[in-house]
Amino acid sequence: MSEGLVLSNVTIKLAGTEIVAVNRRIGPGEVLTVMGPSGSGKSTLLSYLVGTLPRAFEGAGGIELNGRKLNGLPTNRRRIGILFQDDLLFPHLSVAGNLGFGVPPGPRKDRRQTIEAALDEVGLTGFGPRDPATLSGGQKARVALMRTLLARPEALLLDEPFSRLDADRRTRTRDLVFSITRARALPVLLVTHDAEDAAAAGGEPFLLGG
Amino acid sequence: MGRVFPALAVAVMIGPVLAGLWGAALPAFGHLPSAGFQGPSLIGLQRLIEWRGVVEASVLSVTTGVSATLGSLCIVVLIVSGWSGTMVFTWLQRVLSPLLSVPHAAAAFGLAFLVAPSGWLLRPAALFLGWERPPDMLVVGDPLGLTMTAGLIAKEVPFLLLMTLAALPQADSQKSNLIVQSLGYGRVTGWLKSVFPRVYAQIRLPVYVVLAYSMSVVDVAMILGPTTPPTLSVQIVEWMGSPNLSNRLTAGAGAIWQLVLVLAALLVWRAVERLCACLGRKWAGEGQRDVGDAPARAMGFGFLIFTSGAVLLGLAVVGLWSIAGFWRFPAMVPDTLTLGIWARHSDDLAATVADTFVVAGIAVAIAMILTVGCLETEYRRRRPMTPAAVWLLYAPLLVPQTAFLPGLQTLLLSFGADTGRAPVVFAHLVFVLPYVFLSLGDPWRAWDTRYATTAAAMGASSTRVLVFVRFPMLVRPLLTAIAIGLAVSVGQYLPTLLIGGGRVATLTTEAVALASGGDRRAIGVFAVAQTLAALFPFALALAVPALVFANRRGMHV
C-alpha cells in the first residue's frame, strides 16, 4: 500500500489528441505543481481527479489515494478537497454556515467548537455570523480553505487559488495554505501559471502543453 | 432513474396534444359513435364548408393573427433597436414586466372598457360635444377584428420584448452596437443590420408561438372580436358547447381546419423570413447609415407607450367599475363608490379563487418537479438538451388550443373521464410546463457548477448539493418560475372551459362568461381578481428572497 496520491499513467484526450499525460506519486505533505499556459489542460486534469470530467474529454489511468482506488467513485466519496480561483463561498450561508457545510455530522456542540477552532486557526476569530460577501478577498480565501479542510480530505487540489489576490495577500495566503497542508501531511496538487507559486511549493514543477 | 423525468415531461406535454388531435380527427371524418355517427365519412367537413361564415371566419383568423404578430414584432424591434442601453429602456423594462403576467382576458376587458362607444376614452369627447348617449358605433367587435388585434398586440409586446431581452447578451448586442455606431450607423439602422439577424434566430420560436396563439385565441376574441361571424376558433367552441351532439362533427372538422390554417401560416411566415433575410443581407451590404432613424425611434416609443398605456389605463378603469356606484354616461368618474359589488360576489369569488389556485397549484407543482428533474438529470448526465428537445418544448405552444382541446374533451367524454379537476390540471400542465421550463432553464444552466464540485469534494451527496446549495442559490429564478407557471394557469380559458366541462370555474372562465352579459361591475370584480391572482405570486417571488436573504449581499441581484 502506498501513501499519498498516486496517478498511474493518467492520460486525457480531447477528440483523439492527448492533452495530458501524468505518471506521479504525491507523498503526504508534498506538493506537485502542474504548470502550463491556459488551455493546456491543467483544470481538465483536476476535473478528472475529482470525477467531473466533461463528456467531450476521454480520461484514462489509475488514481489511488492512500491505497484506495478512486476510479469510478462519485466526487463526494473520493475525499479529495478542491479550491478554485474563486472562493465559491455559498452566498446564502453565513461564514459559520459555510464552514459547517464542511464539518462531518456530529453533536452540535462539537461541531460549533470545530468551527470556532478553524476560524481561530486562520485569524478570523468571531467571524462566524458574518455574511461572506462582506469579507475581503484574503479572508474569503481563508474561509474557503478551512471549509475544505474541515471535511477532512485526504488530498487537496488547488486550481490557481491565489491568482485573484493582490501580491501581499497572495504570499501570506500561500504560505498559510502550505504550512497547514504540510502540518496535516496532505498530498497537494497545485495548478498554476505563476512561477512564484511554483517556487513556494518547492520541488520540480510538472509542465503541461507548449 | 436517469431518463424518467425527460420521458415524463415529454409525455405530459405531447401526449394530450396528440390525443386531442386524434380526438378531433375522428369526428372530423364523421366518426362519433356516441352521437350515432359511424365513420369514415365527410359529413363533418361538408358541414364546415356549408357553414355560411367559413370563409370570413378563416380569413379573420389569418388576418388578426398575422397582423397581431407582425405588429408586436415591429414594435419590439423598433423599441429594442432604438432604445436598448438607454435609461428610458431600463425604465420601460421595469414598467412592462408586470404586464407580461396580466391575463389576456383582463387586458382585453380593460381595452373594451376604454374604446367602447360608452367607454372611458370617448367620454371627454362626449362631455365636450354634449352627447347624452353613447354614439352608435361598432368599435368593440368590429367586423375586421381591429380592436381584437390591438388587444393581442398590447399583450404580446411584453412577451416578445422579454424574449428579445433574454436573447440580447448572446447576440453580443452591446459590442456590436458600439462598433456599428462608430462606423457612422444610426441606432436603428445599425442594429437592424448587425444584431437583429442573430436576435431573430433566437426569438424565432417565441414569434411562432405568438402567431399560432393569436390565430386561434378564444377568450380575447370573445371579448373584443367580431360576432357575425366570429373567428373560426370562437365558432369551434360554440359548436362544442351546442346541445346538439352532431355539431361536434363540425367542431372536429373546424379544429383540423384551424390546425391546417396555423401550419400554413407558419410555413408562409418561414418563407417570408427567408426572403427578408435574403433582401436584408443585400441591404446590410449597401452601406446606408441612417434610414429614418429618428422617426423610427419616436414611433417605437410612441406605439409602446400607446399599447401598454392602454392596458394599464384599461385595468384602472376595470378596477373603477368594480367599485362604481351610480355612473352616468359621459361622466369620467362614478358619482359614488361602493364595495357592495365585491360584497355581493364574495361567496362566488371565494369559491372561484379556491378552484383557480387548486388547479394552478397542482399544475405548477407537477411542472416544477418535472422541470427540476429534467434539468438536474441533464446536469448529472452532463448531456445538454438537443435542439430537437427545444422544439418539443415549444410544440404544445405551436399547436392551436382549439385544434386539440375539443378533441381531448371528446376523447375524455368517451372514456367517461371528463369529471373533476384532475383532467383540467393535466390540460393546464400542457401549457404551464413549457413556460416553467423556459423560465428556469437558463438560470439553472448559468449556475456555476464549481459550487457543486466544491460541495461534493467536501463529501456532500448530489441530493444534498441540490437541496442545500443549488436550490437556495437559485431561489429567485425558482420562485419566478413558479410565479410564471401560476400566471399561465390562472390565465387559461379554453382548457378550463372545455376539459372542465363547466364543472370547474376559475376566475378566467367566470370573467369571460360575464363578457356577453355586459354587467361591467361584475366583470370588473372578476377581471380585477383575475389580475391580482396572476400578479400576487410575482410580488411574493420578489419579496420572499429579499426578506429571507436581507443579510446576504451575495444573494442580491
Chain A residues with beta carbon closer than 8 angstroms to that of B473 = 90-92
Q: Which helix (H) or strand (E) holds A13?
A: strand A5-14
Using an 8 Å CB-CB cutoff, list residues of chain A that contact chain B: 47, 50, 52, 54-55, 74-84, 86, 88-93, 101-102, 104, 131-134, 147-148, 150-151, 153, 157
Can you tell me the distance from the alpha carbon of A95 to that of B250, in angstroms, rounded to the nearest whole number? 68
Residue B243's alpha-carbon distances to B44, B240, B247, B248, in angstroms, are: 16, 8, 8, 10
What is the band of A98 on the pLDDT scale with cuts at 50, 70, 90?
Answer: very high
Cβ atoms B251, B406 nearer than 8 A: yes
Residue A139's alpha-carbon distances to A77, A172, A200, B366, in angstroms, are: 28, 11, 21, 43
The residues in B 449-508 lying below 8 A from A, measured between CB atoms, are 449-451, 453-462, 468-469, 472-473, 475
Size of interface A-B (CB pairs under 8 A): 86
pLDDT score for A169: 86
Q: Which of A27-36, A77-86, A108-117, B116-125 has the lowest mean pLDDT?
A: B116-125
Task: Considering chain A, tell me which residue range(s) the CATH 3.40.50.300 domain(s) occupy.
Answer: 1-79+155-210
Looking at residue B245, the DSSP 8-state letter turns out to be: T
What is the band of B419 on the pLDDT scale with cuts at 50, 70, 90?
Answer: low
Cβ atoms A7, A46 nearer than 8 A: no
pLDDT score for B554: 86
Quickly list DSSP for B403-451. Answer: HHHHHHHHHHHHHT---SHHHHHHHHHHHHHHHHHHHHHHHHHHS-THH
Can you tell me the distance from the alpha carbon of A54 to that of A35, in angstroms, rounded to the nearest whole number? 21
Q: Which amino acid appears at position B216 of this protein?
A: S
Can you tell me the distance from the alpha carbon of A102 to that of A45, in angstroms, rounded to the nearest whole number? 24
Q: How many residues does chain A have?
A: 210
Average pLDDT over residues B14-34: 90
Looking at residue B32, the DSSP 8-state letter turns out to be: B
Cross-strand pairs, B487: none
**More reliable by pLDDT, A173 or A1:** A173
Chain B residues with beta carbon closer than 8 angstroms to that of A133 = 552-554
* CB contact (8 A) between residue B454 and residue A82: yes
Can you read off the three cell numbers belonging to residue B215?
390565430
Nearest CA in chain B to A91: B554
pLDDT score for B458: 95
Å between A55 CA and nearest CA of chain B: 7
Chain segment B510-544, per-residue pLDDT in tens:
999 998 888 999 999 999 999 999 999 999 999 99
At residue A91, the 3 state secondary structure works out as coil
**pLDDT value at A1 more than 60:** no
Q: Which helix (H) or strand (E) holds B266?
A: helix B247-284
* CB contact (8 A) between residue B454 and residue A148: yes
* CB contact (8 A) between residue B456 and residue A132: no
Using the CB atoms, write b or e for B259-290: b if 16+ within 10 Å: bebbeebbeebeeeeeeeeeeeeeebeeeeee
Can you read off the three cell numbers belonging to residue A40?
493546456
* CB contact (8 A) between residue B457 and residue A91: no
**More reliable by pLDDT, B140 or A189:** A189
Chain B residues with beta carbon closer than 8 angstroms to that of A84 = 450, 454
Cβ atoms A152, A163 nearer than 8 A: no
Chain segment B114-125, per-residue pLDDT in tens:
998 888 888 888
Can you tell me the distance from the alpha carbon of B323 to that of B317, in angstroms, rounded to the nearest whole number? 10
Note the pTM of the prediction, 2 decimals: 0.91
Average pLDDT over residues B198-211: 95
Average pLDDT over residues B41-66: 92
Domains in chain B: ranges and CATH: 1-38+341-557 (1.10.3720.10), 59-338 (1.10.3720.10)
Class of the domain covering A1-79+155-210 = alpha beta
Residue B350's alpha-carbon distances to B347, B355, B505, in angstroms, are: 5, 9, 11
At residue A37, the 3 state secondary structure works out as coil
Pairing of strands A31-35, A188-192: parallel
Chain segment A17-26, per-residue pLDDT in tens:
999 999 999 9
Mutate to test the interface with B, among A5, A75, A101, A143 (most CBs of B within 10 A): A75
Nearest CA in chain A to B473: A92
Q: Which helix (H) or strand (E) holds B282?
A: helix B247-284
Can you tell me the distance from the alpha carbon of B394 to that of B203, in angstroms, rounded to the nearest whole number? 12
* CB contact (8 A) between residue B457 and residue A88: no
CA dihedral (B218, B223, B226, B230) in degrees, to 10, reads: 30
pLDDT score for A136: 92
Average pLDDT over residues B374-395: 86
**More reliable by pLDDT, A170 or B265:** B265
**pLDDT value at B66 more than 60:** yes
**pLDDT value at B1 more than 70:** no
Can you tell me the distance from the alpha carbon of B365 to that of B432, in angstroms, rounded to the nearest whole number? 10
**pLDDT value at A13 more than 70:** yes
pLDDT score for B40: 83
Can you tell me the distance from the alpha carbon of B363 to that of B409, in angstroms, rounded to the nearest whole number? 18
Share of chain A above pLDDT 70, in %: 99
Chain segment B292-332, per-residue pLDDT in tens:
888 999 999 999 999 889 999 999 999 999 999 888 888 88
Share of chain B above pLDDT 70, in %: 99
Chain segment B252-266, per-residue pLDDT in tens:
999 999 999 999 999
Å between A33 CA and nearest CA of chain B: 20
Can you read off the three cell numbers belonging to residue B71?
405588429
